[in-house]
Amino acid sequence: MSAAAAARAPRAAVAAANAPRRAPAPASASASAAGQQQQQQEGAEDDIAADDGGVEPGEDEYEDEDEDYGGEQGQGLRAPAAPPPLDAAALQLSIDLARVASATKAADVMVLDVAPLVSWTSYLVIASVASRPQLMAVLARCERAATAAGYERRNTPSGRSQWECVDFGSVVVHVMTPPQREAYALEDFYGAADEVQWWEEGEDGGAGGRGDEAEAAAAGGGAGAGGTGAAGVWTTRQ
């Protein structure tokens, strides 16, 4: 470049023209830098995996949670293993009411412990009767016995149905005629419930007990404690 041209050129151009040129970086140096960058990235991924306990996302990451909720079987949340606490007073009331129904010549008297199955009561008393008057007599005498034990009736029977129930809270009494008993089969519906032995050893009790007495009552059988009068008419008198 001549002196005159150098004088006319901007200083920046002169500096650029006179600056030494840089040689291109060798290929080995570029590869080394790329390798270092890859190693740094892999190291960061290893640190993340170590924080997660060495579990790769999408594999066994949720294995523990899956086992807690049933695992591969898909059983879902499990029911509590511990049974509900025993309500001794309700148990005694259910036994007493079953005996009242039996003394009123009801047939197939059963007591079912439904506390592990439902939340609205603990025991069901189920009994069959031969007629509407006998049905109302059983209900009236059960209510009298429950009131004496400190329990109040929570509902009002219709007085017209062949199946009536009276709710004492922890104990519910169902009294029905044989066709209704067979049609609705409460003991089958609550088939998972345990049956409570309400009768004394040596007595004619249980699911099949009192059948002959119920047939005699239907035919207008004799009177007695909880029986009928001479005309076969049931009353609510003790």
Is 148 exposed, middle or buried, given 0-12, 13-18 or 19+ CB atoms closer than 10 A? exposed
For residue 139, being part of any structural domain is answered with yes
- Tell me which amino acid residue 157 is: P
pLDDT of res. 210: 46
For residue 37, being part of any structural domain is answered with no
Domain count, the chain: 1
pTM of the model: 0.56
For residue 61, being part of any structural domain is answered with no
Distance of CA 162 to CAs 39, 119, 175, 196, Å? 85, 26, 8, 25
3-state class of 175 per DSSP? strand
Closest CA to 223 of 236, 233, 211, 209: 233
For residue 182, being part of any structural domain is answered with yes
For residue 74, being part of any structural domain is answered with no
Beta-carbon neighbour count of residue 117 at 10 Å? Answer: 14
- Tell me which amino acid residue 216 is: A
For residue 28, being part of any structural domain is answered with no
Q: What residue numbers bound the domain in which 163 lies?
A: 88-196
Residue 62 pLDDT grade (very low, low, confident, very high; cuts 50, 70, 90) = very low
Q: Is the pLDDT of residue 95 over 90?
A: yes
Return the CATH number at 134.
3.30.460.10
Average of pLDDT values for 108-113?
Answer: 97
Q: Is the pLDDT of residue 44 over 50?
A: yes
Beta-carbon neighbour count of residue 67 at 10 Å? Answer: 10
pLDDT of res. 65: 45
What distance in Å separates the CA atoms of residue 45 and residue 34, rounded to the nearest whole number? 17
Residue 77 pLDDT grade (very low, low, confident, very high; cuts 50, 70, 90) = very low
For residue 108, being part of any structural domain is answered with yes
pLDDT of res. 201: 79
Q: Name the range with the highest mean pLDDT among 39-43, 192-196, 201-205.
A: 192-196
For residue 186, being part of any structural domain is answered with yes
Instruction: Give one DSSP letter per residue of 92-135, joined into a string.
Output: HHHHHHHHHHHHTT-EEEEEEE-TTT-SS-SEEEEEE-SSHHHH
